[in-house]
Amino acid sequence: MVELLIFDFDGVIADSEGLACDVLADYATELGAPMTRQQALDRFTGKRINDVWSAVQQIAQRPLLGFPEELQRRTLAVFNSQLREVTGVTKFLEDHSHFRRCIASSSAPERIRFSLSLLKLDGYFGDNVFSANEVARGKPFPDVFLYAAQKMRVDPSRIVVIEDSPGGVQAASAAGMMVIGLLAADHIGPDHGTKLRAAGATWIASSYDEIATILAGM
């Protein structure tokens, strides 16, 4: 029996991965760490901002003081005018209000809250929003999912996670949770389902309608 749905955020609730990686690639290139949008997506989807900062400094081969704050500022500025929800998420949340739910994301709490408010989805999650900034290790380690399970007081074996990144799928699988790999965001490439299966996804869904069908059959 499923007792809890855990949603990743970027690429699962907010269709934000492509926007964020455009900003990251432009900013990193400006700082002397040349990067394309696709390279940013391949390397940094699902990563914490401090992990991104460390990697970009290695590429640039110099300290980049103030990088996290400026990247956050630029990203939220773009979100403010361009962010949209992943198609179908509001209807899904409305139709599945009988499931307990929370968010467990690699993004900073401020970015999650800003985005939820912008999309008018904050009321669906209340205080049940958890960030990898609150744990020792980010995805692909299971820390943030185990932290969320502990806070929500649910055994990991009774949790379904909805994820869009291979690292996130690995993290949820390592936490002992069932995982639906979602292919609904704009940044998803044609081979992404194969990557999510290889990372350990229990199911693959192309839409929230398909997630609803999976849950109905459990």
Q: In terms of domains, do 135 and 198 share one? A: yes
Last residue of a domain, one of 82, 101, 133: 82
What domain range includes position 165? 4-15+84-216
What is residue 191's predicted lDDT score, i.e. its pLDDT? 94
Domains in the chain: how many in total?
2
φ and ψ at residue 2, rounded to 5 degrees:
-85, 125
Task: Please indicate, yes or no, whether residues 117 and 211 belong to a single structural domain of this protein.
Answer: yes
Contacts of 93 (CB under 8 A, 6+ apart): 101, 121, 124
Residues 23, 10 within the same domain: no
Instruction: Kindly report the backbone phi and psi dihedral angles of residue 189, in degrees, each rounded to the nearest multiple of 5, phi listed first.
Output: -90, 170
From 35, 66, 82, give the residue that closes a domain: 82
- Based on the domain organization, do 140 and 69 belong to the same domain? no
Spans of the chain, pLDDT less than 70: none
CATH code, domain with 184: 3.40.50.1000
The per-residue pLDDT for range 82-130, each reduced to its tens digit, is 999 999 999 999 999 999 999 999 999 999 999 999 999 999 999 999 9
**Residues 158 and 206 grouped into a single domain:** yes
Quick one: 78 and 91 in the same domain?
A: no
Domain with 55 in it: what CATH number? 1.10.150
Residues 73 and 168 in one domain: no
What is d(CA 121, CA 189) in angstroms, rounded to the nearest whole number?
Answer: 26
Residues 190 and 169 in one domain: yes
117 and 74 both lie in a single domain: no
Strands 203-205 vs 178-182: parallel, antiparallel or unpaired: parallel
- Is the pTM of the predicted complex or chain greater than 0.85? yes
Note the pLDDT of residue 115.
97
The answer to whether residues 71 and 127 belong to one domain is: no
Same domain, 32 and 88: no
Distance CA 59, CA 105 (A): 25
What distance in Å separates the CA atoms of residue 122 and residue 129, rounded to the nearest whole number? Answer: 9
pLDDT at position 102 is 98
Same domain, 153 and 50: no
Q: Which of 31, 48, 82 is the last residue of a domain?
A: 82
